[in-house]
Structure 1
Amino acid sequence: MAANNKLLINNEWSSSLFMVMITTIVLSSSQLSLIDCRNYEHSSTEMALTNQVVIQQRDCYPNETPIFIHTAASTSGKYFNRRQVIRRTWAREAYKYKMRILFVMGVPRDLSIERSLKMEADKNHDILQFNFIEDYYNLTLKAISLLKWSYRHCSNSPYMVKTDDDVVLNMPMLYQLVRQRKIPSGLTGLVMTTPANRENGHKWHMPEHLYPKDSYEFLAGFSYLLSMDKLKSFLKTIITYPGPILDIDDLFLTGIVADYGKIRRNNSFRFKFFCGTDVCTMETSLAMHACPSAKNSEYMYRFWKNADRLSCYRHFRLSRSYRRRRPRSISTTTTTTTEHISNDQIIANYTDYLIDSHQLIGFKFRQP
């Protein structure tokens, strides 16, 4: 593990796409056999690939929050469609709020589509690709890659977000929580506790010799946040952890590594498994593991944005008091009369007021 210590601080990235692709071709044959039989853990050779960037992107600007989206290295089908929908929907809000969208992927088994991925990256400037084979059981490598990249290129950001490509993020709420620094130190998401899976052949099977405990506690992997003050210690913990680097990413990183490094898990009920058109569920959630179909996710998002969402806040019973003090509460506009303020601005200001008065955060903190 001592050799891996150098990986964290090694700033020498692959400068040639050609050389990286040659390396990929050499390693791919050995990796294919590992993937087909599933080793359950990653070798030091595979871990080294998390430092090798195939498609690079610019550094984060100061205070720019990076949102890393796990996606697959394909230029057609559901993963490409999901990226396109995100670009048309909540990614546009992210840019408005000075947040950064980066789709994270590995190298496709069919290297003939790499050129198309490069063209997509050149067009959108939002693809970050690393030099390991794209595969479900390489998600741990993908998550560690984005952590290392974030450490090197986004050190001035207050938070980073990891999410999947079938998730809808509530960007106004995320922006307000980030701006007010309301997200606590450590990892924040939906805390889950499940029995260890011992069923041979199951997607999430975990042999007892690799994980002897009877249950897991971790954050649901569809979306979670990490405060950047814990990123360095998080990475050092990955390097110094003496056990196997398991191929189930959320279990390993937000469960085993977080426990070993004493990195706090903050539970929030605003991370939800949800696909539907309940406007108030969408309005008061931060991250929604939404519809697997990109088309349905887009419909869900647009239905939410076109609905009257002010009624969703009535159960806070603050409407009258808020209206009385609203001119003092609005700090983002010089207008003090509601007639000249759009519904979206009223909602944004009202949500800001609820967060500022500690009524819309929704974090249930565990005692350290």
Structure 2
Amino acid sequence: MVTVLAGSAGSIVNLAPNFTWNVNSSRDLAIYVDPVNTTAVITNEYLCASNPTDDPPKPILLIIVCSAVGNIKAREAIRETWMSLEPNKTTPFDVRIAFLLGQTVNDTRQNDVLMESNLYGDIIQEGFIDAYLNLTLKSVMMLKWVKTYCPQVTFVLKTDDDMFINVRTLTEYLSQSHVQQRKDLIVGSLFCRVSPIKDAGSKWYELRNLMAIVGQKYFHLTGYVLYSPHFMYNGKVYPDYVSGTGYVISGPLVPILFEGALHVPLFHLEDVYTTGMVAKQANIIPENSNLFSFVKHPTSNPCLYRKIITSHGLNPIELKSIWERINDPHLDCTSVRLPKIGDPKFKKCHKAARLTVHRGGRRGWV
């Protein structure tokens, strides 16, 4: 484990753990997360406090946007767009939104984070180094924070700072009676039977190492690379999981997943780890809704953006542009034929069809 002293407002506040992708690194997540003690530098502990205007109080939908310290423009764009929209007053949810950051050893950037937090009051900062290979730590720290400061939450949406989130469609989706009653829900864009790349000679191996060097920006350019060295995962396929670009989990599942993560060896792909490996250990099956997307929908179709819940890979300029267009009062989508997104109902991964050869040479799929 690599540790560095992390400063906050000119003083040393704690040790910020950093997971290193090495065969000799400990994968005991409890070492990095510290389940007993407070690890947050900026706690924002009153984010889920009761709203006195709600009588009776509404159930809480908490949206946590995982963001990097330096992605200030991305956070500003979100505040000016989908984060600024008050859901329909008839929604049964009280929506709370915050950005989750790790730490930086750059004192100037850390002071900028503190100023941003004081200005907007929407920052949670945990005590680990904000780096690509620490994305799993960030997701588990999210579970820890919710368990500690927002135990009454009904649903949590985990997403990233390059995402468009349709809060109104999301609340409508979660308001369905069969969804709202769920206590064991993990839902998003489902991946089934994904095979890890274990060949050290593969070009994807080289890309993964480059990503570890140049960071998240390169990751967006190269796409999803599921390389995993054999010492970290020796299975033929990953457990079914949902894309980390945006997924919802039931509030009652949060402490279960957090406690489970303390007993599952740390793995560098956060969505595979949290919604796949840890969920499997807790006997939770992730589910699919095609309203969630891990790809970028065409920004030329604002009517589509009125219908979906998530779209991935938008830069701040694109996010502001599509937001302005979908909120144009003159935009008429009634006669627009939208492309089929898919059945928004839950569906599960099915066994893959297997080609067999029967007696007599007859071939068929089973």
TM over 0.5: yes
Change (3 A) 1:147 1:20: farther
Q: Which runs of 5+ in 1 are unaligned?
A: 1-15, 317-359
**Secondary structure of 2:261 counterpart:** helix
| Aligned mate of 1:172, from 168, 171, 176 | 168
When normalised by structure 1's length, the TM-score is 0.72
User: Which residue, out of 309, 331, 335, partners 1:286?
Assistant: 309
Aligned partners of 2:247 and 2:125: how far apart in 1? 21
Aligned to 1:309: 333
2:232 is paired with a residue whose SS is coil
Structure 1 residue 313, shift from structure 2 partner: 8.1
For the pair 1:52 / 2:39, whether they are aligned, the reply is yes
Say whether the 8 Å CA contact 2:28–2:263 is kept in structure 1.
no
Deviation at 1:36, TM superposition (A): 9.2
| 1:298 matched to 2:290 | no
Alignment partner of 1:102: what SS? strand
Q: In structure 1, what is the equivalent of residue 197 of structure 2? A: 197
Deviations 1:184-206 (A, max 9, x none): 43200010132202243342421
SS in structure 2 opposite 1:101?
strand
Q: Which residue of 1 aligns with 2:156?
A: 160
Aligned equivalents of 2:130 and 2:23: distance in 1?
16
Give distance in 2, aligned partners of 1:40 and 1:207: 15
TM-score after normalising by structure 2: 0.73
CA distance in 2, matches of 1:20, 1:95: 40
Asked if the contact 1:282/1:304 (under 8 Å) is kept, the reply is: yes
Alignment of 1:277-356 (within 5 A): 277-291=300-314, 293-306=315-328, 307-311=331-335
3-state DSSP of counterpart to 1:364? coil
> Residue in 2 aligned with 1:188?
187
Instruction: Classify 1:142/1:19 alpha carbon distance in 2 versus 1 (closer, same or farther; 3 Å).
Output: farther
Mapped contact 2:8–2:107 kept (Cα < 8 A): no
Identity percentage of aligned residues: 20
Give, as a single letter, the amino acid of the residue that structure 2 aligns with 1:177: Y
Quote the residue 2:131 is aligned against: 135
- How many residues get paired? 299
Partners of 1:205 and 1:38 lie apart in 2 by 18
1:129 Cα deviation after fit? 0.0
Deviation at 1:290, TM superposition (A): 3.7
Q: Give, in angstroms, the shift of residue 83 of structure 1.
A: 0.4
Give unpaired runs (5+ residues) of structure 2. Answer: 1-6, 51-58, 209-225, 351-366
User: Secondary structure in 1 aligned to 2:252?
Assistant: helix
**Greater shift after overlay, 145-154 or 159-168?**
145-154
Call closer, same or farther: CA 1:313–1:61 in 2, change over 3 Å.
farther
Cα offset, 1:61, TM superposition: 3.5
- Which structure dedicates a bigger proportion of its chain to helix? 1
Would the alpha carbon gap of residues 61 and 178 (structure 1) be closer, same or farther in structure 2, given more than 3 Å must change? farther
Deviation at 1:264, TM superposition (A): 2.2
Question: Counterpart of 2:127 in 1: which secondary structure?
Answer: strand
Give the whole-Å Cα distance in 2 for the aligned partners of 1:219 and 1:101. Answer: 21
* 2:268 alignment partner, one of 202, 225, 247: 247
- What one-letter code is carried by the residue in structure 2 that aligns with 1:71? S
Q: Give the one of 243, 254, 257 matched to 1:231.
A: 254
Report deviation, 1:96: 6.9
State the 1:44 CA deviation.
3.9
Distance in 2 (CA, whole Å) between partners of 1:228 and 1:134 is: 25
Determine the structure 2 residue equivalent to 1:363.
345
- Equivalent position of 1:61 in the other structure: 49
CA distance in 2, matches of 1:205, 1:42: 21
Alpha-carbon distance change, 123 to 166 in structure 1, aligned in 2, over 3 angstroms: same
- DSSP 3-state at the match of 1:162: strand
Q: Which amino acid aligns with 2:228?
A: M
- Indicate the larger mover: 81-90 or 171-180: 171-180
Kept after mapping to 2: 8 A contact 1:277/1:304: no
Alignment of 1:200-219 (within 5 A): 200-203=205-208, 204-216=226-238, 217-219=240-242
C-alpha distance in structure 2 between counterparts of 1:300 and 1:86, whole Å = 12
Q: CA–CA distance in 1 between the matches of 2:174 and 2:8?
A: 35
Contact 1:51 1:130 in 2 (8 A): no
Contact 2:197 2:227 in 1 (8 A): yes
Q: Deviations over 1:306-329 (max 9, x none)?
A: 22233458999xxxxxxxxxxxxx
What corresponds to 1:118 in structure 2? 114
Q: Displacement of 1:72 after TM fit?
A: 0.5
